[in-house]
Amino acid sequence: MVPMEPLLAFLRSFRPISAEEAAIIIAHFEAKHFEEGEYLFRAGRVCKDFFFITSGILRIVTTNDKGVDVTHYFIGENQLCTILKSFNEETIARDSIQACCAVRVLSINKRSLSGLYQKLPFMADLVNQVNQERMLEKIRIKNAYSGEDAAQRYKVFIAEQADIAYRVPLNYIASYLNITPQSLSRIRRNRG
């Protein structure tokens, strides 16, 4: 069983949550566990689940026209994750959500989230605020790589996301940095 306290601590970092509100929130979430490589959600469908990561790392990934996986983002502990456009607009998603290592999440489906919003209206604003802040952070990190060569992109990745860098498979990192696994191995070797 995944403890709910990390979710409550996360929410309380944005605003006070009473014990009564906490009980309502907890009742809407379900604990789930995924092993490395498992998909929490696969592209080609409408994403109907929202996840809060209590341990582990997820990646948002797309398979391109050549059949190659392209990692867009890594998402670690104490963060929310979904395919936002698909979830909000009920459209078919092009991206998937995959576990980069063993992952424990708290999951809520769209119907339950709507019910939670009805019971606790402040939650809608809170989730929107979190989503906006996370999106801006993802953009900031991606922009840090812009115009850099492969070695510099890896250096920035280590500086910006060290907590993730040593916990996910190298081929996922290579995909994220848009370099080949062989180039990444060479860059890592040359760094000492």
Element (H, E) at 137: helix 122-145
Q: Are 50 and 108 in contact (CB under 8 A)?
A: yes
SS3 94: coil
Mean pLDDT of the chain: 93
User: What gap in Å lies between CA 183 and CA 85, rounded to an integer?
Assistant: 33
pLDDT, tens only, 134-176: 989 988 888 888 888 999 999 999 998 998 988 999 999 999 9
How buried is residue 192: exposed, middle or buried, by Cβ count under 10 Å (0-12/13-18/19+)?
exposed
How buried is residue 126: exposed, middle or buried, by Cβ count under 10 Å (0-12/13-18/19+)?
middle
pLDDT given at position 53: 97
User: The pTM is what?
Assistant: 0.92
Superfamily of domain 5-190: Jelly Rolls (2.60.120.10)
User: What gap in Å lies between CA 151 and CA 53, rounded to an integer?
Assistant: 30
pLDDT, tens only, 38-75: 999 999 999 999 999 999 999 999 999 999 999 999 99
